[in-house]
C-alpha cells in the first residue's frame, strides 16, 4: 500500500513488450512487463494498489500505435498524458527534427536530468537499437547517435550472407570464439561493447566531467565488457516518464 494519496502510472510500449511502472509520486514501487500480444487492464492493475489513493496520474509513451482498447481505457483517467513532440519537458530539447525523435529517448534524457540535474550526462539505451543521448550541464538535450542493437547485428549477419546462421543472444561470449556460433556472439557482443567504449571515450575528450548511464534490455549483456566507468540503471525509461508526468502536473 502507498503511504501517500497519490499514485503515478507510467506505461512504455516498445516494439514487442510493454512495461508498466507504479510510482508513489517519485518512488518506483512496482514494475510489470507484458508481451504486446497480451491485453492489459489498467483498471484491474490500479485496483490492486489504490485502496488508499485519492489521486491517479498516468503517462504513456509508445514506439508503435497505441492499441485502441488501451487508449480508450487510458483516456478514462482524469490526469493523463500521452508523450509526444509537443509535451512540456523538464529540459530544453535542441533536437532539430523533434517529430522524428523517439519518445524513449526523451524519457531517458528526462531520467538523467532527474538523477543528475545540471550535469553533463550521456545515456546509452540498449534495446532494438543502441542510442546515445546527451544532455549538458545547462539541461539542454543536444542529440546523440543511433546504432544497431545486438539482435539487429545478428540478424544482419544472417540475412546478408549465404551461410551464417541466426544466433540467439546469450549471457556470455568469449572474445575468441572457436566455432561459428561463438564467433558470431563474439563479433556481436564484443563489437558492440568496443563501439560503446570508443564513443564514451570520445565524449569524455569533449566533456571530461560527465556521467555515463547505461540502461535497456541488453545493458546487462554489455556492461561487464565495458572499460569506462558507468552507472547501470534498470527501468530508466519508466523513471523518465514519471519525471515528465510530475513536471506536467
- Which residues on neighbouring strands pair with residue 134, listed in sequence order? 122, 143
197 is catalytic: no
Rounded to the nearest 5°, which phi and psi values hold at 20? -125, 130
Cell numbers found for residue 75: 483516456
Pick the catalytic residue from 104, 197, 202, 220. Answer: 104
Whether the Cβ atoms of residue 33 and residue 45 lie closer than 8 Å to each other: no
Q: How far apart are the first and last CA of the chain?
A: 22
Comparing CA positions, the residue from 85, 61, 98, 116 lying closest to residue 238 is: 61
Q: CA-CA distance, 56 to 74, in Å (whole number)?
A: 11
Rounded to the nearest 5°, which phi and psi values hold at 55? -140, 130
Residue 47 to residues 38, 41, 51, 63, 126: CA-CA distances in angstroms? Answer: 19, 10, 7, 27, 33
Active site residues: 104
Amino acid at each position: 500500500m502507498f503511504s501517500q494519496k497519490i499514485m503515478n502510472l507510467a506505461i512504455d510500449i516498445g516494439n514487442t513488450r510493454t512495461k508498466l511502472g507504479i510510482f508513489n509520486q517519485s518512488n518506483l514501487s512496482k514494475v510489470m512487463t507484458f508481451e504486446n500480444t497480451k491485453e492489459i487492464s489498467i483498471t484491474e492493475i490500479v485496483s490492486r494498489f489504490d485502496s488508499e489513493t485519492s489521486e491517479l496520474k498516468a503517462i504513456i509513451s509508445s514506439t508503435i500505435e497505441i492499441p485502441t482498447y488501451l487508449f480508450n481505457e487510458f483516456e478514462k483517467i482524469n490526469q493523463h498524458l500521452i508523450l509526444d513532440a509537443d509535451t512540456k519537458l523538464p529540459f530544453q530539447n535542441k533536437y532539430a527534427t523533434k517529430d522524428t525523435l523517439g519518445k524513449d529517448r526523451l524519457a531517458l534524457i528526462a531520467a538523467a536530468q532527474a538523477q543528475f540535474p545540471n550535469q553533463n550526462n550521456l545515456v546509452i539505451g540498449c534495446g532494438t537499437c543502441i542510442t546515445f543521448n546527451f544532455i549538458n550541464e545547462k539541461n539542454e538535450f543536444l542529440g546523440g547517435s543511433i546504432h544497431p542493437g545486438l539482435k539487429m547485428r545478428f540478424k544482419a549477419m544472417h540475412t546478408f550472407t549465404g551461410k551464417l546462421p541466426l544466433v540467439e543472444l546469450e549471457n556470455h561470449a568469449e572474445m575468441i570464439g572457436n566455432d561459428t556460433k561463438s564467433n558470431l556472439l563474439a563479433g556481436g557482443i564484443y563489437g558492440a561493447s568496443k563501439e560503446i567504449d570508443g564513443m564514451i571515450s570520445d565524449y569524455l575528450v569533449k566533456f571530461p566531467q560527465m556521467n555515463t548511464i547505461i540502461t535497456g534490455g541488453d545493458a546487462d549483456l554489455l556492461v561487464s565488457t565495458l572499460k569506462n566507468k558507468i552507472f547501470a540503471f534498470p527501468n530508466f525509461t519508466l523513471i523518465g516518464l514519471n519525471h515528465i508526468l510530475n513536471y506536467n502536473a
